[in-house]
Amino acid sequence: MTELLDEFEEKREALRNIVEEHVRNRDRLSEESQKFAAERDLLNAKVRELRDAAKEKIAEKSALIEQVQKLRAEKEEHYSKYQDFRKEYRKVRGEVPVKDIDIRDIKGRERELQRLETKQQTTQLTKTEEQKVVSEIRKLTNEIKKMKKVFEDTIGQNDIIKDIVQKMKKEKDEGETMKKQVEEISQKISGLSEEINVLLQELDETRRKADEMHESFIKYNQEAEKEHQEFVKAKNDLRDMEKAIYSMRTKNKATKKKEKESEIQEKATILFDKFKNGEQLTTEDLLILQKAGLL
């Protein structure tokens, strides 16, 4: 019985060590899992921040695109009006009378100038012939320039022409202003597109890291749970072992008590026989008889 009890006590000590080891492992793994969880939560917060920033940039870009589309439509409308006024200008310009100058004369000289320039460029001429052609080209060029100046100065004083020219200028200036605005906003849109791409790339990378942290959290959390289950099992085994040891010790005490009582009873029987035979007993002998219930 004593050898078995010693063996059980050794096993109990081993189980205590196993329980403590599982507790240490469980706490260590749990701490690791919480570190990964905390890092994951920080990354997820950054993901939300980046997503909100990207949404804001996308909304801003969409608003600018809508603005550009509107400006382009207005710009085209101004250019269309400009072209209409230009056609009207050409029509009226050809109808405005100019003293001593007919627009058809100017056009006739321009055709003659073009013919002479072509002749100079494509025909084999002697030096004298070429000098003559050059002289005629110079003369025609000066005449055309003077006639156009007189013509433009004259028709420029016409109220109808003035009104059309002002309208042409107004529509063209409006169109150019809007064209410039479209270019400026288009540059902003391009800049926003680059910013959005950078944000989305960072968002994907941050989300990937957050997923990795979550996977690590799950891994360590599962391992911590396994260690906890092993701890519970070892703890139950330890409790069962302690119960067995307690039971064994109780039985051992009862056995020893019974053996002692049996020994006292045997001594008392012998002493009682002596007492009946009239032999003198000591005080200790009498106490043994009392314990045995014989006195």
Q: What pLDDT, on a 0 to 100 scale, did the predictor assign at position 201?
A: 96
Residues 6+ apart with CB under 8 A from 151: 98, 101, 103, 106
Q: What pLDDT, on a 0 to 100 scale, did the predictor assign at position 80?
A: 94
What are the structure tokens assigned to 155, written together?
């028709």
CA atoms in the 13 A half-sphere facing the CB of 287: 3
Give 233-280 pLDDT, tens digit per residue.
999 988 888 888 777 777 767 666 666 666 666 676 776 667 677 677
Residues 151 and 167: their CA atoms lie apart, in Å, by 21
Residues 171 and 79: their CA atoms lie apart, in Å, by 7
**CB-based burial label for 209 (10 Å; 0-12, 13-18, 19+):** middle
Q: What pLDDT, on a 0 to 100 scale, did the predictor assign at position 182?
A: 95
Residue 293 DSSP class: T
Q: What pLDDT, on a 0 to 100 scale, did the predictor assign at position 56?
A: 96
Residues 89 and 165: their CA atoms lie apart, in Å, by 7
Q: What pLDDT, on a 0 to 100 scale, did the predictor assign at position 278?
A: 67
- Token match 């949404």: residue? 55
Q: Which of 32, 48, 53 is nearest to 207 (CA)?
A: 48
Enumerate residue ranges in the chain where pLDDT < 50.
none
* Whether the Cβ atoms of residue 99 and residue 154 lie closer than 8 Å to each other: yes
Q: What pLDDT, on a 0 to 100 scale, did the predictor assign at position 30?
A: 94
- Amino acid in position 146: K
What is the number of other CB atoms lying within 10 angstroms of the CB of residue 51? 15
Across-strand partners of 98?
A: 101
Q: Which three-class secondary structure state does DSSP give residue 283?
A: helix
Q: What pLDDT, on a 0 to 100 scale, did the predictor assign at position 289?
A: 62
Q: What pLDDT, on a 0 to 100 scale, did the predictor assign at position 1?
A: 53
